[in-house]
Amino acid sequence: MHADLASLVGAEHVASDVALADASGLSGRVPALVAPGSAQEVAAVVAWCYEHDVAMVPVGGRSGYSGGIVPGADPDTVGIALDRLDALRSFEPLLWRMEAEAGVTTATVARRARENGLIFPPDPGAAEQSQLGGNLATNAGGPHAFKYGVTGHWVTGIEAVIAPGELVSFGGPVRKDVAGLDLRGLLIGSEGTLGIITAAWLRLVPAPPEALPVAAAFPTVRAGCAAIDAVLGSGVVPAAIEYLDGRCIAAAPAPFLPDAGGSELLVVCEAESAHDRDELLEALGDGAVAPPAAEVWRWRDGVSIAVRAARGEKLSEDIAVPVERLADAIEGTIAIGARHGLEGCSWGHAGDGNLHSSFLLDPGDDAMRERADAAALELFVMARELGGTASGEHGIGLLKAGQLSEQWAPAAVDAARAVKRALDPKGLFNPGKKEP
């Protein structure tokens, strides 16, 4: 195996017996991790694997939360790292367009866009670490997905290697295209189970003239969610509507709301004009403040780490529910934790009904981790009962295998399986991931 792979990508780009882990807490080992230097080399590696019935797991920035890059049960799985595919193949600011390879980081895309007065709106966390390919594989979201939509909305074309090792493109720089079935959209969010995305054409957009956050803290979850309702009824389209529950506020105190300790919900919205900011301040009511955007997002970026630090470890999910059930899901998260002897809490993308429901854990306490795993299953049940989903933006990966079968009708699951078989008849693309 190693000699063959080395002949395709160079011996210095084949590592042996490598541990693969992401932010999910899952990990595993692959006998070989190859780092192709081009899309053509990715195709050559896939062709070799497909010919030799060798399973593949594509590896991006390793910042995922669902074990998407952790190998499944097959000990002979080859890891394919996209790091070396880090070229911006083209960037045409005046055409609001960029073609970037899969290994380009989220931060690089964002920075290059910003330097030219543009934004690439999807803003999942871990920007310095996460890569475009991973964002595409999970159809990543982030705070600004509320107004701007998830990653796939901003991708007009992808280049991918599909079975049995063919480098193809679906779409391109053209902004509208209905000539074929939307295989571009099908591969986005497929977590590498239908092929390996090697590059994408991104749609950019001029940066909004201003980023004007507003924030307020509320004594109860219900009061905070009522304020979110008022925001939705204000006539304004906020760029983001974020929230933290009381436990998260305590773990990650907001510098712009020093008196929020003891509050049960903190709400942050972002306006893009002074007029809209004033409307949002009114919707959030007395005590709402309008801190600088840099301060808000610097703080917000640290929330996940701060919540983890509160006890040393945590288990986080990313269920999503219809927005009118947000309060139920926030309270339900705490109640589920309590039933398992765990401190439950959540924060997330309120406007999208997307909760990062979490349980605080003592590091190394395996029994506690097992209780949290059991509690997580109850989170999925709750999400479904509220009309929602087991994953809003992190994907299924290894961690949530089997959840779709609880969520979709059998015929719908059969359709998903049929599509998987059609595009990956040998079942070699990231086996065990996104398993219904």
Nearer to a second copy, 179 or 367 (CB): 179
Could you give the CA distance from residue 242 to residue 94 in angstroms, rounded to a whole number? 32
Helix (H, G, I), strand (E, B) or coil at 46: helix
**Cβ at position 192, least distance to a second copy in Å:** 12
Of 72, 60, 64, 71, nearest in space to 23 by CA: 64
Nearer to a second copy, 63 or 389 (CB): 389
Residue with tokens 């009511």: 285
Is there binding between residue 274 and a second copy (CB under 8 A)? no
Could you give the CA distance from residue 226 to residue 108 in angstroms, rounded to a whole number? 38
Helix (H, G, I), strand (E, B) or coil at 41: helix
Helix (H, G, I), strand (E, B) or coil at 27: strand
**Cβ at position 267, least distance to a second copy in Å:** 17
> If you count DSSP H runs as helices and E runs as strands, how many of each does the chain have, helices first?
15, 17
Is there binding between residue 218 and a second copy (CB under 8 A)? no
Nearer to a second copy, 237 or 335 (CB): 237
| Site residue total, a second copy (CB under 8 A) | 89
Binding segment for a second copy (CB under 8 A), chosen from 30-38, 252-260, 338-346, 394-402, is 394-402
Tell me which residues in 223-252 interact with a second copy (CB under 8 A). Answer: 229, 232-233, 235-237
Residue of the chain from 166, 210, 362, 385 that contacts a second copy (CB under 8 A): 166
Residue of the chain from 394, 428, 429, 432 that contacts a second copy (CB under 8 A): 394
Residue of the chain from 389, 430, 431, 432 that contacts a second copy (CB under 8 A): 389
**For residue 123, what are its two tokens?**
């803003």
Q: Where are the alpha helices (DSSP H) in 155-267?
A: 183-187, 221-232, 246-251
Residue of the chain from 17, 180, 286, 366 that contacts a second copy (CB under 8 A): 180
141 within 8 A of 150, measured Cβ to Cβ? yes
Is there binding between residue 289 and a second copy (CB under 8 A)? no
Tell me which residues in 326-355 interact with a second copy (CB under 8 A). Answer: 349, 351-354
Nearer to a second copy, 320 or 376 (CB): 320
Q: Which residues pair with 211 in a beta bridge?
A: none
Q: How many CB atoms lie within 10 A of CB 340?
A: 17
**Cβ at position 305, least distance to a second copy in Å:** 22
